[in-house]
Amino acid sequence: MIKAPAEVIWSPQPNPAARLRLLCFPYAGSGASVFRSWDLGADIEVSAIQLPGREWRRDELPITRMDALVDDLLPVVSEWLDDPRPVLFFGYSMGAALSYALTTKLQQAGARLPGALFVAACRAPQLLAQNTSVGHLNDKDFTDVIRRFGGMPDTILAEPELLQLALPVLRADFEVLGTYQWQHHVPLNCPLTVYGGSEDPHATRTELAQWRGLTTSDFQLRIFSGGHFFINDARAQLLKTLAADIAPLSAISKKALPMH
């Protein structure tokens, strides 16, 4: 059964007067609430995807394959895109790969594309096949993998009951990445901006730069100080940079849309 957009796409601070909408895709193991306090100015309404198995969708089984995730989201996002305001996508880590895969599917379907795609902390998708699946690991070894990535609060890692609640979604998300098979597609027809951490061993500058061939439009690569989770360590700078990168698109929308 197709979910209603309100069940899957959450706007923590609805802003009907905003000229642009930013749809965010969270990193592995997380939910829409990681974007709850994002503020990019009055012109931009921030919304986020809620995947199955987490937060208010915790009673649903998490999905373990990228193509299944995309198929699950496609009708919901397509309906949500009916709003005439321009939409931008932002994806972090696994969310970056998912936002790219969804944008590719939208383009193949001849549907409306985001006005720009922003991806962060994720090597180019054609390199993701190099990831080794860790789904077969026992809880201790799998937790060690998660710990090396960083980003999960020590309070969860140190508390067995909390960890057991988090593991099914984490395992599912790592299975999504570990089984992802990139296929060559026509490059996207929208601007692409890539953000990375200077000390991120999971998405190096060289690996990030290989996103360049996936768009026929403008491309930018920006590096922040920090590791894989610079979304936390350099959050203020990330939001400032993202707002600045969106500003030219906001200016265009002011010319294209009537005043509210």
Instruction: Please identify which of the residues 47, 93, 99, 253 carries the catalytic annotation.
Output: 93
Asked if residue 214 lies in contact with residue 240, where contact means CB atoms within 8 angstroms, the answer is: no
pLDDT tens digit sequence for 114-159: 999 999 999 999 998 765 667 677 878 877 877 777 766 665 666 7
Residue 93 annotated to the active site: yes
Identify the domain containing residue 139 by its residue range. Answer: 5-256
pLDDT tens digit sequence for 213-249: 999 999 999 999 999 999 998 999 999 999 999 998 8
Asked if residue 88 lies in contact with residue 21, where contact means CB atoms within 8 angstroms, the answer is: yes
Q: Provide the CATH number for the domain around residue 216.
A: 3.40.50.1820
pTM more than 0.85 = yes
Q: How many folded domains does the chain comprise?
A: 1
Q: Tell whether the model's pLDDT for residue 258 goes beyond 70.
A: no
Of the candidate ranges 83-97, 145-159, 182-196, the one whose mean pLDDT is the lowest: 145-159
Of the candidate ranges 62-66, 93-97, 246-250, the one whose mean pLDDT is the lowest: 246-250
Task: Identify which has the larger pLDDT, 61 or 138.
Answer: 61
Q: In what order do the strands lie in the sheet with 9-10?
A: 9-10, 44-49, 20-25, 87-92, 116-120, 192-197, 219-224
Q: Hey, is 71 helix, strand or coil?
A: helix
CA distance to 131, 190, 240, per residue, from 252 (Å): 39, 15, 19
- Among residues 81, 112, 123, 118, the alpha carbon closest in space to that of 244 is found at 118
